[in-house]
């Protein structure tokens, strides 16, 4: 029996950075996925190893299950139905298992994700031998929630082959967990995210688990449903950035200019609420969709202007904005800024020829372009016979 799980990436439509200062933010799932396949060896195969294969990166990690049991002696006894955090001792033990894999220096950023895999796997399945294979349509470390999508897909695949969820193994194609199972996946994925990021907000894994959209304010998450089809051109500038430094920079600016920055954060809050209202309101016809898209374009432009006020734009982001503006398209950064990814709304009536021209111009600058539907499905799984 093999299970395959997929979980979507995410974008922030409005509210990044300001959310740290009490404003509302809106995040949405995108139809670009991370896939995890998991299977246990048959008795004939007589395999006693845990294998983790990152197919896109051509990296494979192998641990004898006896070695894992020796280093993590308490992992076999926990119930998968009760997610728990990784203790300091277990974190150190897992780090030693990861270190002995000799991850190449240029890929050392992957170590935290490998640690998260080991923690999630051993917490849910103890010391069973297995092979997990990961592939992804999401660029790594670019603000599209690739680590959360990984943790959600891993948690879903692991739970699907545990006793904690009841599923129809004969169902053909993708299927969705029930609400209580989704909640369990989300909690385990959050534990994986903590292994990778330390103190994540929980937005990324929640969007990836449930799909659609989420409104977030002061630690409170509200799931919202989109009533209109939305398509975005996502441009990956390939410029790396340090999220913590950018967040600290906004906070420092707020200390230096408290009155002005309070106005900026309040304006962002209003924009996020309006974005959520537009997306949720019913659509009667194509004209109504066009009107909504025009409003969203204005709000995206206003949002970008406020992010520039916060000091989190970048020359590469401005380059994307100038390029898309030539085609009268609206663009804003998404996530931390300082590089990373940029969103451009693609209106329903926009011709494919124009989209091709925009992409050609952006790729000529060395950027990577992805087209994604916004507010789609969350985590899903499918089963196949032994293979």
Residues 329, 346 contacting (CB under 8 angstroms): yes
What is the distance between the alpha carbons of residues 53 and 51, in angstroms, rounded to a whole number? 6
Token pair recorded at residue 131: 């092979």
CA–CA dist 23, 261 (Å, integer): 12
> String of b and e for 295-312 (b: at least 16 CB within 10 Å)?
ebbebbbbbbebbbbbeb
Residues in the chain: 387
Phi/psi at 47 (5° precision): -95, 135
Which residue in 110, 93, 11 sits closest to 52, CA to CA? 110
- Sequence-distant (6+) residues with CB within 8 A of 377 are 8, 29, 31, 176, 211
Q: Which residues are catalytic?
A: 204
φ, ψ of residue 259 to 5 degrees: the values are -65, -50
Cα angle vertex 371, ends 276, 139, to 5°?
A: 95
- Least Cα distance to 369 among 237, 281, 269, 245 occurs for 237
Q: Are 36 and 379 in contact (CB under 8 A)?
A: no
3-state secondary structure of 364: helix
Residue 104 CB burial class (10 angstroms; 0-12, 13-18, ≥19): exposed
341-345 and 2-14 strand pairing: unpaired
| E strand or H helix that includes residue 294 | helix 286-309
> Among residues 195, 224, 54, which one has the least CA distance to residue 122?
195
Cα distances from 148 to residues 138, 153, 281, 374, in angstroms, run 11, 8, 29, 17
């Amino acid at each position: 029996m093999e299970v395959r799980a997929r979980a979507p990436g995410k974008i922030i439509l409005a509210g990044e950075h300001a959310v740290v200062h009490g404003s509302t933010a809106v995040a949405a799932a995108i139809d670009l996925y991370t896939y995890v396949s998991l299977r246990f060896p048959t008795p004939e195969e007589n395999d006693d190893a845990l294998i983790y294969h990152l197919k896109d990166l051509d990296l494979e990690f192998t641990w004898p299950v006896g070695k894992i049991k020796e280093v993590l002696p308490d992992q076999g006894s926990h119930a998968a139905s009760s997610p728990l955090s990784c203790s300091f001792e277990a974190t150190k033990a897992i780090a030693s298992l990861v270190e002995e894999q000799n991850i190449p220096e240029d890929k050392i950023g992957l170590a935290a994700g490998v640690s998260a895999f080991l923690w999630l796997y051993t917490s849910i399945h103890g010391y069973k031998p297995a092979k997990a294979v990961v592939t992804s349509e999401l660029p790594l470390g670019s603000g599209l929630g690739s680590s959360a999508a990984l943790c959600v897909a891993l948690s879903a695949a692991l739970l699907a082959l545990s006793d904690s969820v009841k599923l129809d193994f004969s169902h053909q194609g993708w299927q969705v967990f029930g609400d209580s199972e989704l909640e369990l996946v989300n909690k385990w994925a959050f534990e994986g995210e903590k292994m990778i990021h330390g103190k994540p907000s929980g937005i990324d894994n929640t969007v990836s688990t449930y799909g659609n959209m989420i409104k977030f304010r002061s630690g409170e998450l509200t799931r919202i449903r989109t009533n209109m089809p939305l398509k975005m051109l996502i441009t990956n500038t390939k410029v790396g950035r340090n999220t913590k430094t950018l967040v600290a920079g906004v906070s420092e600016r707020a200390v230096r200019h408290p009155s002005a920055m309070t106005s900026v954060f309040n304006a962002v809050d209003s924009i996020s609420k309006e974005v959520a209202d537009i997306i949720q309101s019913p659509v009667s016809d194509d004209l109504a969709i066009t009107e909504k898209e025009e409003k969203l374009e204005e709000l995206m432009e206003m949002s970008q202007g406020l992010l520039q006020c916060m000091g989190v734009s970048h020359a590469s982001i401005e380059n994307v904005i100038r390029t898309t503006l030539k085609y009268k398209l609206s663009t804003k950064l998404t996530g931390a800024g300082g590089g990373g990814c940029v969103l451009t709304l693609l209106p329903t009536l926009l011709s494919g020829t124009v989209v091709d021209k925009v992409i050609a111009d952006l790729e000529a600058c060395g950027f990577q372009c992805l087209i994604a539907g916004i507010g789609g499905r969350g985590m899903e799984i499918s089963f196949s016979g032994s293979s």
